[in-house]
Amino acid sequence: MSHPAWQRTLEVGTAEQTHALAAGLGAELQAGDLLVLSGELGAGKTTFTQGLGEGLGVRAGIISPTFVLVRIHPNLPDGPRPGGPDLVHVDAYRLASASEIDDIDLENTMDSAVTVVEWGRGRVEHLSESRLEVELQRRLGSAQPSGTAPSGPAQPGTDVLDFDTDDADEPRTVVFRGFGPRWAEPPAALAGIPDLPATTETD
């Protein structure tokens, strides 16, 4: 597998901070972007995707797509980004290989939507020459990483803020890695977070 162009690590203290961080990132995403989320159950993948959805301005109600594999959340014409891309949310946990990813025809929406794949490492890299990997880790007593997450809450009054019950409200480490020309530089949402040496990705 290829090496990331950069890697940044930060700590978030609550589910709301995880959501706010992702909302800031979502506001920068464009049609054709591929995000690969990894992390154990309860690490915050669903909460992070909900934040992305808010930043993208797509229909609320993002939940884990575990039992349907793929959910499409359309852009809202009266949302913050009218005319922006839809969100395609994929759970690849039960898919054993890249060929099984191909069977669900993500290529049909890749160019017109933002595609977020949970449990996608080792399965979706062939879909695009660029990808942003987001690894969420529950702290569980591990050493604190450098960097500080945005402390501002998500926008009030939005029904996107429906945290998954498996995403416990506890400190987490979030690692971002950029691959390919689209992510040659970190997004503005990660401004101010120390740049760490890029490392070889591991499963």
Q: What is the pLDDT of residue 94?
A: 83
What percent of the chain clears pLDDT 70, i.e. is strictly above it? 77
Give the mean pLDDT of the chain: 82
**pLDDT, tens digit, 9 for 90 and up, residues 71-108:** 999 999 999 999 999 999 999 988 878 888 888 889 89
Strand order from edge to edge, sheet including 70-73: 70-73, 86-91, 113-118, 34-38, 131-138, 172-179, 6-12, 195-196
Radius of gyration of the chain (CA): 16
Window from 59-63, 101-105, 199-203 with minimum mean pLDDT? 199-203
C-beta atoms surrounding 100 within 10 Å:
13
Angstrom distance (rounded) from CA 201 to CA 70: 25
Window from 56-60, 106-110, 119-123, 195-199 with minimum mean pLDDT? 195-199
Q: Is the pLDDT of residue 59 over 50?
A: yes
**pLDDT, tens digit, 9 for 90 and up, residues 29-54:** 999 999 999 998 888 999 999 999 99
Query: Are the beta carbons of 113 and 86 closer than 8 angstroms?
Result: yes
Statement: the pTM of the whole predicted model exceeds 0.75: yes
- Residue 27 makes CB contacts below 8 A (sequence gap 6+) with 55, 56, 80, 81, 189
C-beta atoms surrounding 5 within 10 Å:
16
Instruction: Indicate the helix (H) or strand (E) that contains 178.
Output: strand 172-179
Confidence of residue 183 (pLDDT cuts 50, 70, 90): very high
Polymer length of the chain: 203
What percent of the chain clears pLDDT 90, i.e. is strictly above it? 58
Q: What is the pLDDT of residue 194?
A: 65
Q: Is the pLDDT of residue 156 over 80?
A: no
Dihedrals phi, psi of 163, to nearest 5 degrees: -60, 135
Q: Is the pLDDT of residue 64 over 50?
A: yes
Angstrom distance (rounded) from CA 144 to CA 13: 11
Distance from first CA to last CA of the chain, Å, rounded?
A: 11
Query: Are the beta carbons of 9 and 175 closer than 8 angstroms?
Result: yes
Q: What is the pLDDT of residue 157?
A: 34
Q: Is the pLDDT of residue 177 over 70?
A: yes
CA atoms within 13 A on the CB side of 164: 20
